[in-house]
A and B are shown apart, each in its own frame.
Chain A
Amino acid sequence: MLDLANLNVSYGKQKVLRDVTLSLQAREVVALIGSNAAGKSTALRTTAGLKKAESGTISFAGKDISALSTVDRVQSGLVLVPEGRQIFPRLSVEENLLMGAYHRADRNHLDGDLERIFAMFVRLKERRNQRAGSMSGGEQQMLAIGRGLMSRPKVMLLDEPTLGLAPIIIEELGSIVRGLAREGLAILLAEQNAMMALGCADRAYILQSGGIVMSGDAKQLSDTPEVKQMYLGT
């Protein structure tokens, strides 16, 4: 579904990603785990087209999309739910969701899509006319995910969704991610919270100072001593 091959990315002279290669199949949740500044966000932003790669290719559904703009990537079904939610604080919850479908040809017939999102996130329904900026962090994260879903993506890139959220909300997020994958969405989940990420992913990659140092089945990874010691704190 999504393949990154030998991706190299720099900010000025600082090399942020070195030869990153990873793949994501349909209906799969893949975690990209790493500490702060390991390059997770950069990997996702480059995949979404917000940052240019120096070398390497990004292919999506069998096509090389490296040269496409962010908007074209969104249109072809690749959506990024950015770090820090980045909702539109002065729009209502419903308007935020509608913006997610901005580029769709059938954007004037979104009632079904809205109902689907509201069924998934009941609290968003209760607050549909409230200003998005006045909601709690957890609610804003759900809104950001819902807004991403409104574009009817095939692949969702989820950047650090657990940031600043309470444990109980993190748990809820995990089951939402699993549920979305069951419905057919492929998800690349960048997380510092390895416990949560390994708990809901099928496979995982471990990113360290810009390079992938380990990868494999999520269960197996969470049993390896290095991962336990460095990322799970057990």
Chain B
Amino acid sequence: MLQLILGQLLNGIIVGSLYGIIALGVTLTFGLTGIVNFALGAFMMLGAYGTWYLYDVAHLPYPLAVVGAVLGVSAVGYVSDMLLFRFTRGNLVNGLLVSIGLISVFEALVLSAFTTTPKDLTYVLPGAFQVAGMFLPKIKLVVCAVFLVIIFGTYLALTRTWLGRAAFAYAQNPEAATLMGIRTERLQTIVVVYSTALAGLGGGLYASMYSIEPTIGTAYILKAVEAAILAGVGSVIGALGGGIILGVSENIGSVFFPSAFRDAYGLVFLIGILLVRPSGLFGDRL
């Protein structure tokens, strides 16, 4: 029993860090543009398919395939920002409409190119460590480590670099940021594109562990938004924390309760936390 729980705990952390990296994009985009980009799930799916294509079809080495996919997704993100998101700044409803529209477009495109048949990457990194009677697949550990490094790296960039501090300052007071001489439009584009790149990376690494279909993004974006709210919107470390709490509560929950309702356990947790702390777990901390 203990082993089962520990195993689920680890699974929860891994899935949670994936929620977290998308939640980070949700939080950053919301902080700088005032919209919730629900299309980030679809960007994640694009990253997954891009990686699959470059690795399994074009036979690039896996890390290179992920980098290629992330660059491709960022390019798509940039074009969508220039053509669409740029016109929805600060307008939650329009942003929602555009992002939901984009989901359909991306899913339809991928569907027509690659059909609904799930794709599986041939083994990227086989093998597992055996610790205290549990099997820890190497690939999952690597994926989790990459997510952690990226999230902490983003935190450092936001607190230590000029661009990052400008982004953080803008999220607190857009007008004052303009008065500091910060070119806010460029800053917004950078953050929107960076968020799509994060989602793309999430998808690229997801593809190494699970099989992919055009609709995988849907569940993840919902979880990511949940994680961002749970953490308190605007918090970077919180996005990771929120993601992990969500992932763990789902996985542990399904040990004791029917696993068909796993999505609900996280929600119950979310409601519980919001009742106690309306501004989220990490409140107004970065």
Q: How many angstroms between the C-alpha atoms of A75 and B179 in the bound complex?
A: 10
- B49 is an interface residue with CB less than 8 A from chain A: no
Partner-contacting stretch, out of A9-17, A23-31, A78-86: A78-86
Count chain A CB atoms within 10 A of each CB in B175, B178, B181 and give the residue with the most: B181
A71 vs chain B, min Cβ distance (A) = 5
Q: How many angstroms between the C-alpha atoms of A127 and B211 in the bound complex?
A: 53
B285 vs chain A, min Cβ distance (A) = 8
- B256 is an interface residue with CB less than 8 A from chain A: no
In the complex with contacts A90-B284, A102-B166, A82-B176 CB distance below 8 A: yes
B279 vs chain A, min Cβ distance (A) = 13
| Residues of A with C-beta under 8 A to B180 | 74, 99-100, 102-103, 147, 151
A107 vs chain B, min Cβ distance (A) = 7
Cβ of A80 and Cβ of B181 under 8 Å apart?
no
Cβ of B286 and Cβ of A98 under 8 Å apart?
no
- A88 is an interface residue with CB less than 8 A from chain B: yes
Q: How many angstroms between the C-alpha atoms of A88 and B159 in the bound complex?
A: 13
Cβ of B172 and Cβ of A89 under 8 Å apart?
yes
A110 vs chain B, min Cβ distance (A) = 11
- B169 is an interface residue with CB less than 8 A from chain A: yes
- B220 is an interface residue with CB less than 8 A from chain A: no
Q: How many angstroms between the C-alpha atoms of A113 and B162 in the bound complex?
A: 17
Q: How many angstroms between the C-alpha atoms of A74 and B176 in the bound complex?
A: 12
- B138 is an interface residue with CB less than 8 A from chain A: no
Cβ of A99 and Cβ of B166 under 8 Å apart?
yes
State which residues 56-107 of B face A: CB under 8 Å. none
Q: How many residues of B contact A (CB 8 A)?
A: 18
User: Closest chain B residue to A81 by CB distance?
Assistant: B179
| Residues of A with C-beta under 8 A to B183 | 71
Cβ of B172 and Cβ of A102 under 8 Å apart?
no
Interface code B168-188, partner A: CB below 8 Å = 1, 0 otherwise? 110011011111111100000
Q: How many angstroms between the C-alpha atoms of A75 and B169 in the bound complex?
A: 18
- B165 is an interface residue with CB less than 8 A from chain A: yes
B160 vs chain A, min Cβ distance (A) = 10
Q: How many angstroms between the C-alpha atoms of A143 and B167 in the bound complex?
A: 20
Report which of B162, B179, B182 forms a contact with A82, defined as CB distance below 8 A.
Answer: B179
Cβ of B179 and Cβ of A86 under 8 Å apart?
yes
Cβ of A103 and Cβ of B182 under 8 Å apart?
yes
| Residues of A with C-beta under 8 A to B286 | 90
- A180 is an interface residue with CB less than 8 A from chain B: no
Cβ of A71 and Cβ of B178 under 8 Å apart?
yes
A50 vs chain B, min Cβ distance (A) = 7
- A22 is an interface residue with CB less than 8 A from chain B: no
| Residues of A with C-beta under 8 A to B166 | 99, 102
In the complex with contacts A71-B181, A102-B162, A107-B162, A86-B284 CB distance below 8 A: no
Q: How many angstroms between the C-alpha atoms of A100 and B166 in the bound complex?
A: 10
Cβ of B169 and Cβ of A88 under 8 Å apart?
yes
Cβ of B176 and Cβ of A70 under 8 Å apart?
no
Cβ of A91 and Cβ of B168 under 8 Å apart?
yes
| Residues of B with C-beta under 8 A to A48 | 179
B6 vs chain A, min Cβ distance (A) = 37
Q: How many angstroms between the C-alpha atoms of A79 and B175 in the bound complex?
A: 13
24 contacts between A and B (CB under 8 A): A48-B179, A50-B178, A70-B178, A70-B179, A71-B181, A71-B182, A74-B179, A74-B181, A82-B176, A86-B176, A86-B179, A87-B173, A88-B169, A88-B172, A88-B173, A88-B176, A91-B165, A91-B169, A98-B165, A99-B177, A99-B182, A102-B181, A151-B180, A151-B181
Q: What is B's interface to A at a CB cutoff of 8 Å?
A: 162, 165-166, 168-169, 172-173, 175-183, 284, 286
| A-B contacts besides A71-B178, A103-B181, 15 pairs, CB < 8 Å | A48-B179, A70-B178, A74-B179, A86-B175, A87-B176, A88-B169, A88-B172, A89-B172, A90-B168, A90-B284, A91-B165, A99-B165, A99-B169, A107-B162, A151-B180
4 closest Cβ pairs, A-B complex? A103-B181, A74-B181, A86-B176, A88-B172
